[in-house]
C-alpha cells in the first residue's frame, strides 16, 4: 500500500501542499534518462517539486521536461527531444533531508483532471529506479493521481534500456473545486466591449478563454528584421502556465487590404496533416488593412486556450502576403518568450494556402493573451 500523501500548511485561499513518496522496493537500476506518465484523478494536479534519487550524493546538472499527453504518441515515442518542448527545470537540484535531489519549478506543472502528462528526467549522472514490469501499467497510486511505468534510457533521448518505475517524491497541490458558470441577468445582459474586428457568428456570447484574466502582450524578437513574406506562416506555442490568446498583431507584404484567416489546432502540427484544412479550427476570417511597417491588431473570433504544458499550432494566412523572419534554426526550435508564460517555436512558411511549405519561419508579430 503506497504512503498516504500528507497535507502541509498552505497560504490562505490555496489547496494544501501534499507530498507523495513512491515505495523503494528495489531501486537499484540506473540510467541517465527516465520518462514516465502521471494521470490526474480527483482534480487538477499542480506539481511544485519533484525529488529523485541519483547514483551518488555529488551535485549534477539535471533537466526536467514536461508535456501533456502520453509520450507513447510523441514523435519517436518520446525519444525525440523537440517533441518535449523546452525543459521546465535546467540546473543543479538541491539536496533534501531524505537523501534525494529536488527540482523546484518556477511555475507549477498543471495536469488537468482526467488528463495524462509525461515527465522526462535527464541527467549528466545516473538516476536510480526500479525495473518496471510492463510499460504504461500503473506503478503507483497516490490517490490524487496515478503514476505509470515508463522507460529508462542510457543517454538523453538515446538507447532505450528497460521499463522503469519512478522512485522519488512529488510535492503538489490538487484543486477539486468546480468553477460555476457566469451568472447573466435576464433583464440586463452585459454590454459587449467594442471591437475593431469584423462581426462574426463564431465568437461566443460568453468568453471561451481566460476572460477576466490579466491581459499581456508579447512581441516576438526580430520584428523589425522581418523581410520575408509568404501567403501563410505556421508556428507553435508551448504554454508554461495556462494562457488564452485573444489576438495576434501581424505585418503584411504591402499596405493593402487583404483577406486574412487564422487557424489553430491543439498539439504539434507535426502530429497531424498540417496541409489538410479540415484538420484546423478557424478562429478568424475577415478583411484586414495590412501594413509592412506597422503591426496591425487582429482580435480573434474565438480565444485559443492552451493549458500549462500544452502545445498549440497556429497558422496565419494572408491572400496578399504576411511578413515573417527567415530562421537559421531548426524547425520546432524555441526562438522567443523563454522567460515569459510560454515559448514560441520555429515554424514554416507556405507559398499558398495549405500548399507548398517553403522556408523555416519565425512568426513576426505580437501575441495578445490573458493569464
The CATH number assigned to the domain holding 18 equals 2.60.120.820
Is residue 206 assigned to a domain? no
Residues of the chain with pLDDT under 70: 1-14, 176-212, 337-340
Find the domain containing 242 and state its range. 215-370
- Tens-digit pLDDT profile for residues 193-238: 333 334 333 444 333 344 557 899 999 987 888 999 999 999 999 8
Query: In terms of domains, do 111 and 237 share one?
Result: no
Q: CB under 8 Å to 365, separation ≥6 — which residues?
A: 219, 220, 223, 248, 249, 250, 251, 295, 316
Query: In terms of domains, do 11 and 146 share one?
Result: yes
Number of domain units in the chain: 2
pLDDT of res. 340: 66
Query: In terms of domains, do 109 and 250 share one?
Result: no
pLDDT of res. 176: 58
Query: In terms of domains, do 144 and 237 share one?
Result: no
Query: In terms of domains, do 262 and 153 share one?
Result: no
Query: In terms of domains, do 147 and 240 share one?
Result: no
Is residue 25 assigned to a domain? yes
Is residue 316 assigned to a domain? yes
Last residue of a domain, one of 147, 175, 203: 175
Query: In terms of domains, do 67 and 152 share one?
Result: yes
Query: In terms of domains, do 253 and 314 share one?
Result: yes
- The β-bridge relationship of strands 355-363 and 281-289 is unpaired
Q: Give the number of other Cβ atoms within 10 Å of residue 191's Cβ.
A: 6
Query: In terms of domains, do 269 and 344 share one?
Result: yes
Phi, psi (deg, nearest 5) at residue 73 = -95, 0
Do 96 and 102 meet the contact criterion of CB atoms below 8 Å apart? yes
Query: In terms of domains, do 273 and 363 share one?
Result: yes
pLDDT of res. 337: 67
pTM greater than 0.75 = no
Q: What is the rounded distance in angstroms from the CA atom of residue 223 to the CA atom of residue 292?
A: 11
Is residue 208 assigned to a domain? no
Is residue 185 assigned to a domain? no
Q: Is 256 helix (H, G, I), strand (E, B) or coil?
A: coil
Do 245 and 306 meet the contact criterion of CB atoms below 8 Å apart? yes
Phi, psi (deg, nearest 5) at residue 65 = -110, 145
pLDDT of res. 338: 54
What is the pLDDT of the chain when averaged over all its residues?
84
Is residue 203 assigned to a domain? no
pLDDT of res. 351: 95
Copy the grid coordinates of residue 324: 515573417
Is residue 64 assigned to a domain? yes
Amino acid at each position: 500500500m503506497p504512503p498516504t500523501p500528507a497535507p502541509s500548511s498552505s497560504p490562505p485561499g490555496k489547496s494544501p501542499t501534499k507530498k507523495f513518496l513512491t515505495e523503494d522496493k528495489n531501486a537499484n537500476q540506473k540510467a541517465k534518462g527516465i520518462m514516465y506518465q502521471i494521470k490526474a484523478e480527483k482534480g487538477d494536479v499542480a506539481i511544485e517539486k519533484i525529488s529523485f534519487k541519483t547514483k551518488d550524493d555529488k551535485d549534477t546538472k539535471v533537466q526536467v521536461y514536461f508535456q501533456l499527453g502520453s509520450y507513447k504518441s510523441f514523435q519517436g515515442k518520446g525519444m525525440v527531444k523537440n517533441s518535449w518542448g523546452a525543459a521546465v527545470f535546467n540546473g543543479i537540484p538541491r539536496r533534501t533531508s531524505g537523501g534525494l535531489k529536488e527540482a523546484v519549478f518556477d511555475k507549477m506543472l498543471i495536469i488537468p483532471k482526467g488528463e495524462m502528462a509525461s515527465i522526462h528526467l535527464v541527467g549528466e549522472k545516473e538516476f536510480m529506479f526500479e525495473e518496471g514490469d510492463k510499460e504504461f501499467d500503473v506503478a503507483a497510486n497516490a490517490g490524487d493521481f496515478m503514476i505509470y511505468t515508463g522507460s529508462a534510457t542510457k543517454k538523453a533521448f538515446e538507447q532505450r534500456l528497460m521499463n522503469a518505475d519512478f522512485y522519488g517524491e512529488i510535492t503538489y497541490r490538487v484543486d477539486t473545486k468546480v468553477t460555476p458558470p457566469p451568472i447573466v441577468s435576464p433583464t440586463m445582459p452585459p454590454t459587449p466591449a467594442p471591437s475593431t474586428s469584423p462581426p462574426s457568428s463564431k465568437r461566443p456570447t460568453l468568453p471561451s478563454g481566460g476572460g477576466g484574466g490579466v491581459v499581456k502582450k508579447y512581441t516576438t524578437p526580430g520584428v523589425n528584421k522581418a523581410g520575408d513574406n509568404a501567403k501563410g506562416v505556421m508556428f507553435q506555442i508551448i504554454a508554461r502556465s495556462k494562457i488564452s490568446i485573444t489576438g495576434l498583431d501581424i505585418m503584411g507584404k504591402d499596405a493593402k487590404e487583404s483577406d486574412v484567416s487564422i487557424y489553430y489546432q491543439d498539439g504539434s502540427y507535426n502530429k497531424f496533416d498540417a496541409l489538410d484544412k479540415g484538420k484546423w479550427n478557424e478562429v478568424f476570417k475577415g478583411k484586414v488593412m495590412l501594413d509592412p511597417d506597422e503591426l496591425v491588431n487582429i482580435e480573434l473570433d474565438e480565444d485559443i486556450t492552451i493549458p500549462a504544458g500544452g502545445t498549440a499550432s497556429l497558422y496565419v494566412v494572408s491572400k496578399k502576403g504576411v511578413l515573417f523572419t527567415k530562421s537559421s534554426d531548426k524547425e520546432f526550435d524555441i526562438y522567443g518568450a523563454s522567460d515569459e508564460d510560454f515559448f514560441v517555436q520555429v515554424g514554416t512558411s507556405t507559398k499558398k494556402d495549405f500548399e507548398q511549405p517553403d522556408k523555416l519561419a519565425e512568426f513576426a508579430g505580437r501575441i495578445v493573451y490573458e493569464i
